[in-house]
Amino acid sequence: MTTGEMHRRAEEAIARCRRLALFSEDQGSTRRTFLSSPMRDCYQEIARWLEPFHIPVRVDAAGNLRASYPAAKSGAPKLLVGSHLDTVPNAGAYDGILGVMLAVGLLEALHGRRLPFGIEVVGFSEEEGVRFGTPFIGSRALVGRLDEELLNVQDGQGISVQKAIEEFGLNPAEISQACLSAEYIGYIEFHIEQGPVLEKLGQPLAAVDAIAGQSRLEVTFFGRGNHAGTTPMHLRYDALAGAAEWITAVERRARSTTGLVATVGRIEAKPGATNVIAGEVRLSLDVRHGSDEIRIQAVEDLVEQAQEIARRRGLTARWKTLLEQRAVAMDPFLVAEIERAIGKTGGAPHRMVSGAGHDAMILAEKVPAAMIFLRTPGGISHDPSESVAVEDVEKAIDCGLHLLDQLAASSLIRERM
């Protein structure tokens, strides 16, 4: 493909993302949640872009858009390429959507050429967890985990996932048909990094080798509420001062361990008055790392530190684990191939851990999965100012084409034929 064509295709992918951002539940900003009516418009628009291929474009029973580009021979395996089409409220145009537009762009860049495997473009119906408070509804259907329990989860209006599917005109009884069969050989997802790392490194692309595991805890310090004017400093049991000491310990612990991120994002002090020493303080703790061992050790250390601080100050500390999610490794073969493809675009090979969850993490339960991150200007995402550079999208298309050719020539395919 000429550099002129590459540039044109990159500009088109960006323009399509911006066009889809107009399909929104809110006026003046983008919000597109699971099976909302703008989601239908979004599907129709993408189907229109896919018309020149004369391939079947369908919406499966979990609301995922799926379009299958055939292989050179019938009965060949399929590679899934895509990302999600839903958004957060007041969203940017590229989170998720760009991965789907790049999949469409890659098909176009093939100029009708058929590969030893088919390519299925997938646009997941739900990843962000906005409408039902539960993420990955779309991709869970592909691994057979859109189960009864999830179907019964209700949104703010009391509408269940099941009901939402029916109201959209889909049949929940067909959800099992959305599940991936043995013919699928892998899943590739392009996604904006949504962080500052690649920008800092001056690199347009990176291979994601793992999705970080996560621990979420609630930690509470108990002291004694008392009068702020009449209680001398040495006779206080100030829960908020203890919590403050612990917050800086959390930051210190994360800073001293490569790749570890730890955040106290919420704090609630009781009674919460200017002239009262806080008697009870509740905090949130979010800890993430690509290695479960390192993450679990960090959480243990931080809990121990909370107890030590509490003891020293005459307070008590209690904690509750709210979420414990293991790290998910991306497929080593695909990661290596992505790295090689990035090298062919002139980029330096770089691997990184994704601190955020993605559909690839769910797909990895069933098929080899891997991701390619694109540099995110300013590291800004989940905001209307989210952006992407046209040169970086060009590199992504170039990388994608190299990757498809590499996979076509690889033993992964030969063994299956």
The CA distance from 305 to 313, in Å, is 12
The CA distance from 192 to 208, in Å, is 11
Stretch of residues binding Zn ion (CB under 5 A), selected from 5-13, 93-101, 114-122, 198-206: 93-101
Considering only 10, 17, 86, 95, the residue that binds Zn ion (CB under 5 A) is 95
SS3 236: coil
Closest of 267, 268, 271 to residue 224, by C-alpha:
271
> Which residue number, 82 or 96, has a Cβ lying nearer to Zn ion?
96
- What is the closest distance, in whole angstroms, from the C-beta atom of residue 291 to Zn ion in the complex? 23
Q: Could you tell me which residues come within 8 angstroms of residue 262 by beta carbon, excluding any fewer than 6 positions away?
A: 250, 251, 253, 254, 285, 286, 287, 288, 298, 302
> Which residue number, 63 or 96, has a Cβ lying nearer to Zn ion?
96
- What is the closest distance, in whole angstroms, from the C-beta atom of residue 31 to Zn ion in the complex? 14
Helices 97-109 and 3-20: angle between axes, nearest 10 degrees: 140
Count the site residues for Zn ion by CB under 5 A: 2
b/e 217-230 (16+ beta carbons within 10 angstroms → b)? bebbbbbbbbeeee
Residue whose C-beta lies closest to Zn ion: 96
> Which residue number, 214 or 220, has a Cβ lying nearer to Zn ion?
214
The CA distance from 95 to 191, in Å, is 7
Considering only 38, 82, 92, 96, the residue that binds Zn ion (CB under 5 A) is 96
The CA distance from 249 to 39, in Å, is 44
Stretch of residues binding Zn ion (CB under 5 A), selected from 95-103, 221-229, 310-318, 369-377: 95-103
- What is the closest distance, in whole angstroms, from the C-beta atom of residue 389 to Zn ion in the complex? 18
> Which residue number, 118 or 195, has a Cβ lying nearer to Zn ion?
195
- What is the closest distance, in whole angstroms, from the C-beta atom of residue 84 to Zn ion in the complex? 6
Stretch of residues binding Zn ion (CB under 5 A), selected from 96-104, 215-223, 309-317, 399-407: 96-104
Stretch of residues binding Zn ion (CB under 5 A), selected from 51-59, 87-95, 149-157, 360-368: 87-95
- What is the closest distance, in whole angstroms, from the C-beta atom of residue 360 to Zn ion in the complex? 10
The CA distance from 107 to 159, in Å, is 37
Specify which residues 318 forms β-bridges with.
220
- What is the closest distance, in whole angstroms, from the C-beta atom of residue 75 to Zn ion in the complex? 33
Closest of 27, 25, 87, 3 to residue 345, by C-alpha:
3
- What is the closest distance, in whole angstroms, from the C-beta atom of residue 95 to Zn ion in the complex? 4
Q: Which residues bind Zn ion (CB under 5 A)?
A: 95-96
